[in-house]
C-alpha cells in the first residue's frame, strides 16, 4: 500500500520556539494533504486541508498564523507550529490523498508526531 512518512515522531521544544513537522508521500503523488490534531484520549480533529500549490484551508477555530501549512510539492507538506506554548502539546497526524499512482483515492496516514512544549 501507499506509504506516508511523518517526521519527527517526537519533539520536545521550549515555549516560544517554532517547530516544523514534515509529511511526505513516499510512493505516490498527493494532491491533497490533511493535518489533524489529537488530544489525549480524544478523537482526531481536522485542522486544515492543503492542496499542492495553493493556500491551505483551515477549519473554524484553527489559527492560521500559528499553524503554518505549506504544500510546496506533490510529495511534501509541512506544518509549522509557531511560538509554541504548552497548550499546543498534542499528537499531530497528517494524511495524504491524491490518486496519482494509486488505484484509489483513499487517504493514507503518517505515523504521527508527539509534540511536547515545555
Partner 1 sequence: GNSVTQMEGPVTLSEEAFLTINCTYTATGYPSLFWYVQYPGEGLQLLLKATKADDKGSNKGFEATYRKETTSFHLEKGSVQVSDSAVYFCALSEWSGGKLTFGQGTILTVHP
What's the CA gap between 111 and 49, in Å, rounded? 18
Contact stretch for partner 1 (CB under 8 A) within 11-19, 36-44, 66-74, 76-84? 36-44
Per-residue binding string, partner 1, 16-35, x by CB under 8 A, is ----------------x-x-
Q: Which of 19, 84, 93, 117 binds partner 1 (CB under 8 A)?
A: 93
Between CA 26 and CA 92 the distance in angstroms is: 19
> In the bound complex, what is the minimum distance in angstroms from residue 109's beta carbon to partner 1?
4
Write down the least CB distance from residue 36 to partner 1, Å. Answer: 8
36: which 3 cell numbers?
489533524
27-48 burial by CB neighbour count: b if 16+ within 10 A, else e?
A: ebebbbbbbbbeeeeeebeebb
User: Given the complex with partner 1, which of 82 and 109 has the nearer CB atom?
Assistant: 109
By DSSP bridging, strand 113-117 and strand 10-13 are: parallel
Q: Which residues bind partner 1 (CB under 8 A)?
A: 6, 32, 34, 41-46, 49, 93, 95, 97-99, 104-112
Amino acid at each position: 500500500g501507499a506509504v506516508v512518512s511523518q517526521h519527527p515522531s517526537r519533539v520536545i521544544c521550549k515555549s516560544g520556539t517554532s517547530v516544523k513537522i514534515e509529511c511526505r508521500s513516499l510512493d505516490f503523488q498527493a494532491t491533497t494533504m490533511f493535518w489533524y490534531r489529537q488530544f489525549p484520549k480524544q478523537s482526531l480533529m481536522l485542522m486544515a486541508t492543503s492542496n499542492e500549490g495553493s493556500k491551505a484551508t483551515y477549519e473554524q477555530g484553527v489559527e492560521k498564523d500559528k499553524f503554518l501549512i505549506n504544500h510546496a510539492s506533490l510529495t511534501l507538506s509541512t506544518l509549522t507550529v509557531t511560538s509554541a506554548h504548552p497548550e499546543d502539546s498534542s499528537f499531530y497526524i497528517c494524511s495524504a490523498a491524491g490518486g496519482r499512482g494509486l488505484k484509489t483515492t483513499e487517504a493514507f496516514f503518517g505515523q504521527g508526531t508527539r509534540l511536547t512544549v515545555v
